Amino acid sequence: MPYILFTRLRLLSQRAQYTLHLYINLYIKRTSMERTQIYLTKEEREALKLLSERTGQSQSALIRQAIDRYAGQYSEEKRSQYLQKARGIWKNRTDVPDIRRLRSEIDCEILYSR
């Protein structure tokens, strides 16, 4: 059966294959989608329409991909990676005051001001 389906799928046009792929993705993998409405400027709408025509993807698919990419930039895993990269970047700087000395001075002021 899978061989027959694969053979028949190859006979479909590229556009039909992509459409079938979208339906499978929509109804099998993403059954928990919710409908939403967005407002676009005229320029954004035209750009989206042109991109849809050039890529052969639906406007909804393009919007979902853009949101997935944008949201991926702010995932907790990415945040953790950025923090790990930033760790120690000031350790060899000479223009930054010694935090331990500053903290001890503040602690002394607080202790003796009572």
* 3-51 pLDDT tens trace: 444 455 555 566 676 676 666 666 655 567 788 899 999 999 999 999 9
pLDDT digits (tens, 9 = 90+) for 66-114: 998 888 777 777 778 888 888 888 778 778 777 788 888 888 877 777 6
Per-residue confidence (pLDDT) for residue 8, from 0 to 100? 56
Locate 35 and state its tokens. 């409908």
Run of H or E residues at 53: helix 42-55
Buried b vs exposed e over 7-45: b needs ≥16 C-beta within 10 Å?
A: eeeeeeeeeeebeeeeeeeeeeeeeeeeeeeeeeeeeee
Per-residue confidence (pLDDT) for residue 75, from 0 to 100? 77
Per-residue confidence (pLDDT) for residue 3, from 0 to 100? 43
Locate 65 and state its tokens. 């991909």
Asked if pLDDT for residue 63 goes beyond 90, the answer is yes
